[in-house]
Amino acid sequence: MQKIVLVLVLLLSGAGSSAAAEPRPDSVRVWNELALAAVRATRATDADAARTYAMLNVAIYDAVNGLSGPARAHALIPGPGPRGADPRAAAVAAAHGILVGLDPARTERYDTQLSADLAVLRPGHQRDAGVRWGTEVAHRVVAARSDDGSVPVQSEPAGSGPGVFRAEWSGVQYRTVRPFAVADPAAYVPGPPPALDSLDYAAAFAEVALLGDASIPAPDKLATFQYWSVPTGTSQPAGEWVKIALTVSHDLSLPASARLLALLTMTLADTTIPTVGTKFTYRHWRPATAIREADTDANPWTQPNPGWNPRAGSVGGTPEYPSGHSSYSGAAATVLAGFFCTDDIRFTHTTDTAPGGQARTYPSFSAAATEAGRSRVFGGQHFEFSNQAGLAIGRGVATEVLATHLLKRHGPTHHGHCPL
C-alpha cells in the first residue's frame, strides 16, 4: 500500500513524469555513499559533514539541472550547460570534482569510480561535454564555498557558574558561516532555555535525571540512544538522513533524486548555523553538570546528585541547548515529507551505531525524527526543552528552503500540484 501511495505522490508532484520511466542511474547513490565513507574516514565534525554533503549534492543538482533548460532554479551555479551534453556524465564528473577537492587523500578511489561510471556511457561528444560541464560546476562550487567562513576553526572558552557549560568547545565559526539557501539563519535562533529557578526547568530536570541515569537499567532506552548516537567517526546525524533519503528515493529519475538530495543537504547544512549560534549564545550546561550541582541553581524543586552519570557515558562536548541531533532530524524529516507530499512513508533503516547492526522500521519521517530527538534525553545528554528547540529550528529552516529554492521556473512550487 505504501508503495502505491508513493507512486501516486510522485505522479502528482511531477517527479513521476516521463523522466521516471528510465531506470534511475546509480550515480546519486554511489557518490553520496562515497561522501558518507569520506566523512567516516576523516572523522569530520557534524557541521563539516553537513557542509560536505551539501556541496556534493548542490554540484550534482546544478550539473544536471543546467542541462535541462534549465527547468528549475539553480542552487549555486546557474546554467545553461552545453547543449546535448549527457546529464549522467555531468553528474558523476561534478561529484568527482567535489570529493577530490574536499578529500584529496582518496583521489585514487574517486578516479576509479569516475572511470567506472563513464565506461557504461556511450563515448563521444555528448559524454565528453557532460564531463566538462560537471567538472566546471564542481570547480565553481568549491571556489564559491572556499571563503564561506567554515575555516579557520574557532572556539568558545570554558565557562563557570550555575547554568553554564564548563568546557571549551570548537567549531563556533559555524554560527556565522554563509548559508546555502536560507536568507537569515539568525531568524531561527530561539529564545533562551527555561530559567534555572523555574518549574519548567525542574520538570525537564526530573525527567532526564530519571530516564538518562546510567545507574538505572533500561536496555530499551540505552539501545535507542546508541542507535542514534552517531558520533565522530560515523556518517554523523546529517549522514543518517542522507542514507534515509537514498532508501526512499530509489525509484526517482536522476533530476528528481538530484533535487531531493540537494534540498535535503542544503537544509541540513543551513540548520547547523542557528544550532551552533544558539549553543554559542546561551552556553547552557549539560544535564550531568546540572544534576551534580543542583544545589547551585536556586531551584527548590531540584535536588543535587553528585554521583549521577549519564546513560551515554559522557557529559557531552558542546553546550546543551539545543540538541543538534534534534535540529538535523527535524530539518530532514520536514524536507522529506515536503518533497514527497506526505509524511507517512514507511522505511527501514540501520544507523552506523545501531546495536548489533539491527535495523528499525518507521511508519513516517516524523516518527524517526521524534525517536532521534528523544534518544538524547534517554542518553542523559539533553533536556527535553532542548530536543523541542532543536526540532523547531530544523523545521523552520526546512520550511523556508522548500518554499524558496529549486523551484520550477513555471509553476507555483517545486512540488507541482502538491501543496507546501
The 10s digit of each residue's pLDDT in 138-170 is 999 999 999 999 999 999 999 999 999 999 999
Q: Is the pLDDT of residue 9 over 60?
A: no
pLDDT at 412: 60
Q: 43-64: b or e for each residue (b if 16 or more CB lie within 10 Å)?
A: ebbbbbbbbbbbbbbbbbbbbb
Cell numbers linked to 405? 529554492
- Side-chain half-sphere CA neighbours of 343 within 13 A: 13
DSSP letters, 314-381, are S--SS-SSS-HHHHHHHHHHHHHHHHHT-S---EEE--TT-GGG--EEESSHHHHHHHHHHHHHHTTS
pLDDT at 68: 84
Q: Which of 209-213, 353-357, 385-389, 403-407 has the lowest mean pLDDT?
A: 403-407
pLDDT at 79: 87
Q: Is the pLDDT of residue 401 over 60?
A: yes
37, 236, 284, 349 from 51: Cα distances, Å:
15, 12, 25, 23
pLDDT at 97: 98
Name the pLDDT band for 408 (thresholds 50, 70, 90). confident
Name the pLDDT band for 14 (thresholds 50, 70, 90). very low
Q: Which residues contact 322 (CB under 8 A, 6 or more apart)?
A: 190, 275, 278, 279, 382, 386, 387, 389, 390, 393
Mean pLDDT across 209-233: 98
The CA distance from 242 to 36, in Å, is: 9
Q: 27-41: b or e for each residue (b if 16 or more CB lie within 10 Å)?
A: bbbbbbbbbbbbbbe
| Domain extents in the chain | 2-404
The CA distance from 312 to 320, in Å, is: 14
pLDDT at 420: 44
| Residue listed under C-alpha cell 546557474 | 78
The overall average pLDDT reported for the chain is: 92
Three-state DSSP state, 232:
strand
pLDDT at 411: 61
**Amino acid found at 405:** H
2-404, CATH topology level: Vanadium-containing Chloroperoxidase; domain 2 (1.10.606)
164: which strand partners? 284
The number of beta carbons lying within 10 Å of the beta carbon of residue 367 is 17
| Residue listed under C-alpha cell 563513464 | 118
